[in-house]
Amino acid sequence: MNMQTAIAPAAAEDLPLMLPGRPEMRYNFPKAWRHFKALIKDKENTAEVYPIFEALPWRGVYAAAQAFLQTERGQDIRRNEPSLVALLDDRERLRKMPKGSLADHYCTFMDREGLSAQGLVDELDRYRPADHYFNDQVTWYFNRMRDTHDLLHILTGFGRDALGEQCVLAFTYSQQPALAHLFLGYAGGLEIKKRLKSRAPVFGAVREAQKMGKACPRLVEMPISELLAMPIEDVRAKLNITPPRKYTEAHKVWRGMGIDPYDLIAPEAKAA
């Protein structure tokens, strides 16, 4: 999840490419470490995550966004998909798409998890400084980095369990190389290893996810409305996304130990 972004409601024909005054993307390792230590003390305090992304950003994001937006394809997608939130939260429309399509899987996943695209926006808005709003085309690109997060869960097969979230972070790093994604992905993997001693290939799963993200074209630069209507396996083939072997193996190991991968506490520990 890339959280150094500013939010605008939708793309507009007359928006400037990039307004002046945007903050320079620079690393601040002491700040990142300070907020990470606070996060470790209270893992439920998600307010500590945003500053980590500010401190370990994707330094080339402005150049990448402008390069895409200066292409005819980029402008076509921007005109056709001014807001992924509006597109993804239109469940009535998505439910009319074929069974087995990405849209079908997306609706099932979001309904099961009680999620919405707007809900993610609202969550991030709790932490983002008010002066980080920029009404330009680069913001549209930033929005898509945020709004494709749940699609990544569905396309990769990484669930919302502890390891699945670390894998999505590592996958996202290869798509949107903010150091925060990589740092949090591997740090989260280390926490899992410390919490539960097993032969489950936790770091192998995170590394595999990173490689998967590198093989996949940048999802934010793909026509999402077209992908939604396609069979999910065709979308995965188009994006070079293969089944995650190490992640599946880790789940198998934990289940063999009588542990639910979505609740990494052994039954004995619960009873203690």
Tokens of 29: 């390792």
Q: How many domains does the chain have?
A: 1
Give the domain extent around 221. Answer: 29-271
pLDDT digits (tens, 9 = 90+) for 68-122: 999 999 999 999 999 999 999 999 999 999 999 999 999 999 999 999 999 999 8
Quote the tokens at residue 94.
Answer: 């998505």
**20 within domain boundaries:** no
Determine, yes or no, domain membership for 173. Answer: yes
- Asked, for residue 5, whether it belongs to a domain, the answer is no
Is residue 4 in some structural domain? no
Contact 114, 257 (CB under 8 A): no
What are the pLDDT digits (tens) for 14-59?
A: 799 999 999 999 999 999 999 988 988 887 777 888 899 999 999 9
CA distances from 14 to 18, 19, 74 (A): 12, 13, 15
Q: Quote the CA–CA distance of 92 and 148 in Å, as a whole number.
A: 19
Rounded to two decimals, what is the model's pTM? 0.90
Over residues 60-75, mean pLDDT: 97
Q: Does residue 1 fall inside a structural domain? A: no
Task: Specify if 108 maps to a domain.
Answer: yes
Instruction: Report the pLDDT value the prediction gives residue 41, as an integer from 0 to 100.
Output: 82
Other CB atoms within a 10 A radius of the CB of residue 160 amount to 14
Calpha distance 6→53 (Å, rounded): 13
